Amino acid sequence: MDAREDILFRVRVALGRTDANRPAAAADVQAAFAARSQGPRPQLGADLLARFRHESGVQSSSVDEVATLDEVPAAVARYLAERQLPQRAVVWPKYAALPWAQAGLAVEARAAQGDDAVGITGCFCAIAETGTLMTCSAPDTPAATSLLPETHIAIVPLSRIVAGMEDGWALARAELGELPRAVNFISGPSRTGDIEQTIVIGAHGPYRVHLILVRDC
Amino acid sequence: MRSQAMFFKARVGDKLADRVLQENLGKAKSKFVDARARAVAEYERDEGADFEALREAGKEIRNRTLANLDVWLETFEAKATERGGQVMYARDGAEICRLVTEIAQRHGVNKVVKSKSMLSEEAALNQALAAAGIQPIETDLGEYILQINDNEPPSHIIAPAFHKSKEQVAELFMRTHGSSKKSGIEEMTREARETLRGHFLSATMGISGGNFLIAETGSVSLVTNEGNGRMVTTLPKVHVVITGIEKVIPTLEDFATLMRLLPRSATGQHISNYVSVLTGVKGADELDGPEHLYFILVDNGRASLVGTEFQEMLRCIRCGACMNHCPVYQTVGGHAYGWVYPGPMGSVLTPLYTGIANALDLPHAATLCGQCSVVCPVKIPLPELLRGLREKQVEMDLRPWSERIALRLWGWVARRPKLYALATKIGVRYLNWLADGTDRIQVLGVAPEWTRGRDFPAPEGRTFRELYAERRTGQGR
Ligand code: SF4
Q: Which of B244, B269, B304 marks a domain boundary?
A: B304
B463 and B470 Cβ atoms separated by less than 8 Å: no
B229 and B209 Cβ atoms separated by less than 8 Å: no
Q: Ligand 1, residue B157: give the atom nearest the CA.
A: 5
Residue A69 inside a domain? The answer is: yes
Domain that holds residue A182: 48-216
State whether A169 and B142 contact (CB < 8 Å).
no
Residue A180 inside a domain? The answer is: yes
Span A41-50, mean pLDDT?
94
pTM here is: 0.93
> What pLDDT does B167 receive?
93
pLDDT digits (tens, 9 = 90+) for B301-335: 999 999 999 999 999 999 999 999 999 999 999 99
Span A170-176, mean pLDDT?
97
Q: Which of B304, B319, B347 marks a domain boundary?
A: B304
Q: How far apart are CA A62 and CA A52, in angstroms?
A: 11
**Gyration radius from chain A CA atoms:** 22
pLDDT bucket at B476, cuts 50 / 70 / 90: very low
Within B339-397, strands assigned E span none
Residue from B71, B115, B197, B254 to probe the interface with A (highest A Cβ count within 10 Å): B71
pLDDT digits (tens, 9 = 90+) for B12-66: 888 888 888 888 888 777 889 999 999 999 999 998 899 999 999 999 999 999 9
Q: Report the CATH number at residue B147.
A: 3.40.50.10420
Span B232-256, mean pLDDT?
98
Q: Is the shortest distance between the CB of B349 and ligand 1 below 6 Å? A: no
Q: Report the CATH number at residue A77.
A: 3.40.50.10420
State whether B230 and A143 contact (CB < 8 Å).
yes
Of A36, A39, A131, the CB nearest to B54: A39
> What pLDDT does B437 receive?
82
Span A118-133, mean pLDDT?
98
Lowest mean pLDDT, pick from A142-146, B133-137, B283-287, B428-432: B428-432
Transcribe B245-296 into DSSP letters. Answer: GGGEES-HHHHHHHHHHHHHHHTS-SS-SEEEEE-S---TT-SSS-SEEEEE
The alpha carbon of residue A40 and the mean position of all alpha carbons in its chain are separated, in whole angstroms, by 22
* Whether residue B405 sits in one domain with residue B283: no
Please give the distance, rounded to the nearest whole angstrom, from the Cα atom of residue B259 to the centre of ligand 1.
14
Please tell me the distance in Å from B391's CA to the nearest CA on chain A: 21
Residue A42 inside a domain? The answer is: no
pLDDT digits (tens, 9 = 90+) for A12-36: 999 999 999 999 999 999 999 999 9
B94 and B273 Cβ atoms separated by less than 8 Å: no
* Whether residue A120 sits in one domain with residue A63: yes
> What pLDDT does B475 receive?
59
pLDDT digits (tens, 9 = 90+) for B3-13: 888 888 888 88
Q: Which of B304, B335, B353 marks a domain boundary?
A: B304
Nearest-Cα residue of chain B relative to residue A31: B250
Residue B44 inside a domain? The answer is: no
> What pLDDT does B432 receive?
87
Q: Whose CA is nearest to atom 4 of ligand 1?
A: B322
pLDDT at A143 over 70: yes
> What pLDDT does B21 receive?
87
Q: Measured between alpha carbons, how far apart are the two ends of chain A, in Å?
A: 58
pLDDT digits (tens, 9 = 90+) for B332-389: 999 999 899 999 999 999 999 999 999 999 999 999 999 999 999 999 999 999 999 9
Contacts of A129 in chain B (CB under 8 A): 270
> What pLDDT does B348 receive?
96
Domain count, chain B: 2
Residue B350 inside a domain? The answer is: no
- Write the ipTM: 0.97
Domain that holds residue B411: 401-472
B321 and B374 Cβ atoms separated by less than 8 Å: no
Q: Ligand 1, residue B313: give the atom nearest the CA.
A: 1
* Whether residue A72 sits in one domain with residue A156: yes
Report the amino acid identity of residue B83.
Answer: R
State whether B256 and A39 contact (CB < 8 Å).
yes
Please tell me the distance in Å from B282's CA to the nearest CA on chain A: 6
Please give the distance, rounded to the nearest whole angstrom, from the Cα atom of residue B317 to the centre of ligand 1.
6
Residue B89: CA atoms inside 13 Å, Cβ hemisphere, count? 21
* Whether residue A67 sits in one domain with residue A28: no
Residue A40 inside a domain? The answer is: no
Decide: helix, strand or coil at residue A208: strand
Residue B223 inside a domain? The answer is: yes
Contacts of A19 in chain B (CB under 8 A): none
Which letter, b or e, does each residue of B247-259 get, where b requires 16 or more Cβ atoms within 10 Å of its Cβ? bbbbbbbbbbbbb
